[in-house]
């Protein structure tokens, strides 16, 4: 084969291979960031979560598994947060208010998990909860005390927490929905509270 | 650089390999990957440079036969374009930090799919071919940098949002400086300019 022909052939091969790698690496040119990728993957295959031990704002110890059979909305916070977590509190409150009252607590619950267990003791969790009307039953604010358990939970959810230069944290913020089977099945943007609540209502 | 290196090619190769391994040590990786700017603008270019130097350590005759094996200059340039663009995806950056296999892929692909093939192809590229590679690189850097500056969201879960903005600015600045440097070599035609005469190889023409 002449060099020119070979060149064209191999170029075509390299181009298709490169395109395939891009297609594969971006879930068919849809997910260019890790955050989108996480959401696409969850939709495709709901993820099993580790059964971690939590402590809520009343000091009550419980397990993530206790919620099986219910739909559970989860967000991740730290109570010293002055920016996003504040609005997260408002958004969770808004979601709670959009769910029919008879389902609250029975078929649907909310859980805000702090990834800052050293600072967020039950007293601080309670203060945060009271600011948004979290009652400790329908909506609990909780921490995972065990560091390894917390990390495994964050990994399963795909949450990356990095310290910022002000002594706080930066983290990817989203609304998470855990299905009745205990699997993470939906992740949406925090400004999509209404569609999120509609999804929940449709599943009730 | 090539002049200095070719006196002791064996020793140079050893030093290059040692530097490659050094970059791969956890300490170097942690430090270079701790900020987005260092990750994108120090570690990744260094990996490409390792590939460039490695290719230059290969004797000219062997470079030519390798180039023929690879089907000439075009496949090399295309491979380099794909591989370098891939590692500019925010998702790829995050993956390199969270998935060890992605990190391995980065350490292998940047030297061997970007730096190495570019050097092989370079001598065969015409002025326009080289100009295409350069301007493509500048514009990619500038556009991506601009996107990082104006992005309303954090594109990398592993990096702070102001780190992203800094990286964006560095990229824009780097692309402007590089562009003017390249323009300068075009007009003056020094040692690094695109019109550098072919020094090695039997002078075959490639498609």
Asked if the C-beta of A12 comes within 8 angstroms of chain B's C-beta atoms, the answer is: no
For the ranges A163-177, B131-145, B185-199, the maximum mean pLDDT occurs at: B131-145
Q: Is the pLDDT of residue B202 over 70?
A: no
- Say yes or no for a CB contact (<8 Å) between B92 and A170: no
- Say yes or no for a CB contact (<8 Å) between A34 and B157: yes
Output the average pLDDT for chain B: 87
Q: Is the pLDDT of residue A107 over 90?
A: yes
For residue B148, what are the contacts with CB-CB under 8 A and spacing of at least 6? B155, B164, B165, B167, B168, B171
Condensed to tens digits (0 to 9), the pLDDT of residues B55-107 reads 999 999 999 999 999 999 999 999 999 999 999 999 999 999 999 999 999 99
Which of B71, B117, B206 to probe by mutation at the A interface, max A CB count within 10 Å?
B71
User: For a pLDDT cut of 90, what percent of chain A falls above it?
Assistant: 71
For the ranges A168-177, B27-36, B154-163, the maximum mean pLDDT occurs at: B27-36
The yes/no answer to whether this complex scores an ipTM above 0.85 is no
- Say yes or no for a CB contact (<8 Å) between B79 and A3: no
CA of B159 vs chain A CAs: smallest distance (Å): 7
Residues of A in contact with B143 (CB under 8 A): none
Per-residue model confidence (pLDDT) at position B189? 63
b/e for B109-135, b at 16 or more Cβ within 10 A? bbbbbbbbbbbbbbbbbeeebbeebbe
Q: How confident is the model at residue A182 (pLDDT cuts 50, 70, 90)?
A: very high
Region A11-18: mean pLDDT is 96
Region B17-41: mean pLDDT is 95
For residue B193, what are the contacts with CB-CB under 8 A and spacing of at least 6? B185, B186
Q: Is the pLDDT of residue B191 over 90?
A: no
Region A166-190: mean pLDDT is 91
**Greater pLDDT, B189 or B40:** B40
Asked if the C-beta of A18 comes within 8 angstroms of chain B's C-beta atoms, the answer is: yes
Per-residue model confidence (pLDDT) at position A166? 80
Per-residue model confidence (pLDDT) at position B6? 52
Q: Is the pLDDT of residue A96 over 50?
A: yes
Residues of B in contact with A8 (CB under 8 A): 74, 207
Segment among A48-62, A157-171, B82-96 with least mean pLDDT: A157-171
DSSP string, chain B: -HHHHTTSHHHHHHHHHHHHHHHHSHHHHHHHHSSHHHIIIIIHHHHHHHHHHHHHHS-HHHHHHHHHHTTSHHHHHHHHHHHHHHTTSHHHHHHHHH-HHHHHHHHHHIIIIIIHHHHHHHTT--HHHHHHHHHHHHHHHHHHHHHHHH-SS-S-TTS-HHHHHHHHHHHHHHHHHHHHHHHHHHHH--TTSTTPPP-SS------
Residues of A in contact with B157 (CB under 8 A): 33-35, 158, 160, 172
Per-residue model confidence (pLDDT) at position B7? 61
Residues of B in contact with A32 (CB under 8 A): 89-91
Asked if the C-beta of A26 comes within 8 angstroms of chain B's C-beta atoms, the answer is: yes
Condensed to tens digits (0 to 9), the pLDDT of residues B133-181 reads 999 999 999 999 999 999 878 888 889 888 999 999 999 999 999 999 9
- Say yes or no for a CB contact (<8 Å) between B91 and A15: no
Point out which residues pair with A142 in neighbouring strands.
A56, A113
Q: Return residues 63-122 of A near B (CB < 8 Å).
A: none
Count of CB contacts below 8 A, A vs B?
91
CA of A203 vs chain B CAs: smallest distance (Å): 30
Q: How confident is the model at residue B190 (pLDDT cuts 50, 70, 90)?
A: low
Q: Is the pLDDT of residue B203 over 60?
A: no
Per-residue model confidence (pLDDT) at position A87? 80
Per-residue model confidence (pLDDT) at position A115? 94
Q: Is the pLDDT of residue B195 over 60?
A: no
Region A62-87: mean pLDDT is 88
Per-residue model confidence (pLDDT) at position B200? 42
Q: Is the pLDDT of residue A47 over 50?
A: yes
The rounded distance, in Å, linking the Cα atoms of A139 and A65 is: 16
């Amino acid at each position: 084969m002449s060099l020119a022909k070979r060149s064209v052939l191999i170029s075509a091969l390299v181009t298709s291979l490169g395109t395939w790698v891009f297609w594969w690496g971006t879930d068919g040119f849809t997910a260019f960031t890790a955050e989108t990728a996480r959401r696409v993957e969850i939709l495709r295959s709901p993820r099993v979560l580790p059964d971690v031990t939590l402590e809520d704002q009343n000091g009550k110890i419980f397990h993530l598994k206790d919620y099986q059979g219910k739909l559970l909305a989860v967000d991740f916070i730290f109570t010293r947060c002055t920016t996003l977590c504040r609005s997260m509190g408002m958004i969770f409150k808004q979601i709670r208010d959009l769910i029919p009252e008879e389902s609250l607590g029975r078929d649907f619950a909310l859980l805000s998990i702090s990834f800052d267990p050293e600072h967020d003791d039950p007293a601080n969790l309670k203060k945060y909860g009271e600011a948004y009307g979290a009652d400790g039953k329908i909506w609990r604010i909780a921490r995972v005390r065990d560091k390894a358990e917390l990390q495994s939970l964050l990994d399963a959810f795909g949450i990356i927490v990095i310290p910022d230069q002000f002594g706080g944290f930066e983290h990817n913020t989203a609304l998470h929905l855990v299905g009745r089977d205990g699997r993470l099945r939906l992740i949406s943007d925090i400004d999509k509270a209404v569609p999120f609540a509609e999804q929940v209502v449709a599943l009730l | 650089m090539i002049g200095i290196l070719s006196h002791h090619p064996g020793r140079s190769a050893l030093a290059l390999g040692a530097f490659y391994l050094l970059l791969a040590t956890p300490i170097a990786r942690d430090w270079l990957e701790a900020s987005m700017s260092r990750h994108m603008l120090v570690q990744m270019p260094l990996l490409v440079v390792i590939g460039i130097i490695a290719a230059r350590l290969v004797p000219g005759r062997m470079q030519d036969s390798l180039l023929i094996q690879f089907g000439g200059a075009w496949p090399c340039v295309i491979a380099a374009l794909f591989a370098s663009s891939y590692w500019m995806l925010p998702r790829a950056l995050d993956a390199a930090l969270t998935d060890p296999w992605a990190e391995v892929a980065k350490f292998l692909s940047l030297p061997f799919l970007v730096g190495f093939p570019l050097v092989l192809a370079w001598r065969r590229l015409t002025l326009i071919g080289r100009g295409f590679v350069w301007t493509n690189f500048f514009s990619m850097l500038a556009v991506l940098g601009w996107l990082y500056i104006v992005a309303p969201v954090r594109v990398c879960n592993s990096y702070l949002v102001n780190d992203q903005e800094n990286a964006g600015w560095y990229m824009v600045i780097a692309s402007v400086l590089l562009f003017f440097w390249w323009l300068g070599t075009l007009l003056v035609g020094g040692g690094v300019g695109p019109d550098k005469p072919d020094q090695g190889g039997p002078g075959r023409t490639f498609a």
